[in-house]
């Protein structure tokens, strides 16, 4: 991607994504998996192009957040020329568990 930041996934974010995709496939089917994946890909392209577009998760921390869908928020950090995806957080969880 010309001019964009490189996206890097944490182990936690990779596990989160696997769990979300498995749940969607089991409960809602392949079409929903494809729609979710399409939305995620589009959002990651946007984040890679303009990583400061989304707000900081906490005013004094480097982590940023982007609500992908009502139930899932992407938490990420900008590190040099990389965007490090920390987690895909299920918003139904206790908000105190979200990265700061």
42-98 pLDDT, tens per residue? 999 999 999 999 999 887 689 999 999 999 999 999 999 999 999 999 988 766 667
- The pLDDT-based confidence of 99 (bands split at 50, 70, 90) is confident
Which domains are present in the chain?
A: 6-91 (3.30.2310.20)
Q: What pTM, to 2 d.p., does this model score?
A: 0.89
Q: Which own/partner contact pairs does 55-63 have at CB distance under 8 Å and 24+ positions apart?
A: 57/98, 57/99, 57/100, 58/100, 61/100, 63/99, 63/100
């Amino acid at each position: 991607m010309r001019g964009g930041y490189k996206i890097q996934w944490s182990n936690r974010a990779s596990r989160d994504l696997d769990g979300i995709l498995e749940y969607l496939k089991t409960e809602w089917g392949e079409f929903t998996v494809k729609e979710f994946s399409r939305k995620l890909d589009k959002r990651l392209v946007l984040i890679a192009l303009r990583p400061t577009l989304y707000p900081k998760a906490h005013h004094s921390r480097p982590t940023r957040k982007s609500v992908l869908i009502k139930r899932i928020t992407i938490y990420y950090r900008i590190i040099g020329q990389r965007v490090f995806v920390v987690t895909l957080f299920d918003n139904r969880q206790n908000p105190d568990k979200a990265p700061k």
